[in-house]
Structure 1
Amino acid sequence: MNETPRPMRRNEIRAMNETLILQAAEKVFAEAGFGGATMQLIADVAGLPKANLHYYFATKEELYRRVVGNIFEIWLHAADSMDGAETPAEGIGAYIDAKMDISRRHPDGSKVWASEVMHGAPVIQDYLETTLRDWTAGRAALIQRWIDEGRMAPVDPQHLLYMLWATTQHYADFGHQIETLNGGKPLSEAQWNAAKASVKQIILRGIGVL
């Protein structure tokens, strides 16, 4: 005997709607930017009434900051693999893997962040001046410790981090260019694995840990 499906609880409906809105907002902000995006367009992409958006997010800026905050948190957690690593090769290699995977799973979020920063971070400057600055200082100190211990080449830690960000996020921010050069097709699973292996080999060899 078939059981009647349990009605969704209010918190489950809220979580589902928020997910729909955030996914739609990420796509619209990536394509139109903050200035070109509208709450009506985001509602249309989400398949929800515009009033629903304003129920969950009072303003476009509030929704935008949530989208940016989400991708930022994902990036911050990607560095967890560095913190507990026993060697620079293990830590930086795992960080490259994590950042490449994020570029594949969240390309629109990466584009939103890149566009915001390229326009002078008018909405999220406070993120850069606080959380990102503190995070960067902490990871730079870890890299400097590995250098001081003679476990990797003496490179500038901050510039190494910039290189890691630029290289891994290229696969999201310039995904269309990569697809065009790949015969108009997204990278396959095998091609993604090959890309990660190549990036790790080049960077880890360059810092003397491979």
Structure 2
Amino acid sequence: MPKANIHYYFKNKPGLYLAVVSDIIDLWDGTFSQITSDDDPAESLRHYIRKKIEFSRQHPQASRIFATEIISGGPNLDGYFSEGYVQWFESRVDVFREWQRRGKMDSSIEPAHLIFLLWSSTQHYADFNFQIASALNKPELQPADFDTAATTLTHIILKGCGVV
């Protein structure tokens, strides 16, 4: 994008930065937003985990930008994590609660914490890529490593939720 266009659309660097971080969150949340209580929990969770792991593989810098912002206390995200975000999050929790009510998911699971687990476990492969590659004695992670991670996380989460 030409520099003139950047100046036209964004008044300053913080505005540009907020747009970048907002786009990252929207990309992550887009897949999660599509899940409904009428969907099969196993298929929905499997699809979501794969998409998030793939996002971590293809866009590790995006995840690190977001992580840095959050670790810093989210100084640029006050407006983003407002009432609208809380309502969106509660609607996601409600989907899981409805699955539980219908007997499709273990009722001992606290949905909010399951969502946090999904977020953290899938982003870990982007944020801590260096550590994982080092532990596996590899110069860098390969697509097969991400596939193995997705398969393993999916198995553990689906069994833990009682949906398989």
Normalised to the residue count of structure 1, the TM-score between the two structures is: 0.71
Percent identical across equivalent pairs? 35
1:52: how far off? 6.7
2:32 corresponding residue in structure 1: 79
| Residue 64 of structure 2 is aligned to residue 116 of structure 1 | no
Number of residue pairs matched? 163
2:82 corresponding residue in structure 1: 129
Q: Does 63-72 or 130-139 show the bigger shift?
A: 130-139
Change (3 A) 1:132 1:186: farther
Cα distance in 2, alignment partners of residues 80 and 137 from structure 1: 11
1:205 corresponding residue in structure 2: 159
Cα distance in 2, alignment partners of residues 55 and 126 from structure 1: 22
The equivalent position to 1:88 in structure 2, one of 32, 37, 41, is 41
1:54 corresponding residue in structure 2: 7
1:85: how far off? 6.1
Bigger relative contact order, structure 1 or 2, given CA contacts below 8 A and separation 6+? 2
Cα distance in 2, alignment partners of residues 201 and 141 from structure 1: 23
2:23 corresponding residue in structure 1: 70
Cα distance in 1, alignment partners of residues 96 and 22 from structure 2: 25
Unaligned runs of 5+ in 2: none
SS of 1:126's equivalent in the other structure is coil
Change (3 A) 1:176 1:131: farther
| Residue 93 of structure 2 is aligned to residue 140 of structure 1 | yes
SS of 1:93's equivalent in the other structure is helix
The equivalent position to 2:132 in structure 1, one of 178, 182, 186, is 178
Q: Does 98-107 or 126-135 show the bigger shift?
A: 126-135
2:105 corresponding residue in structure 1: 152
Cα distance in 1, alignment partners of residues 35 and 140 from structure 2: 29
Stretches of 4+ moved more than 6 A in 1?
none
Q: Does 128-137 or 109-118 show the bigger shift?
A: 128-137
Cα distance in 1, alignment partners of residues 85 and 138 from structure 2: 35
Q: Do the aligned residues in 1 keep the contact of 2:33 with 2:92 (CA within 8 Å)?
A: no
Measured against aligned partners, the alpha-carbon deviations of 1:89-134 in whole angstroms (never above 9, x if no partner) come to: 0111111111111111111111111111121111112211234322
Change (3 A) 1:156 1:184: same
Cα distance in 2, alignment partners of residues 85 and 169 from structure 1: 27
1:161: how far off? 0.2
AA aligned to 1:201 is H
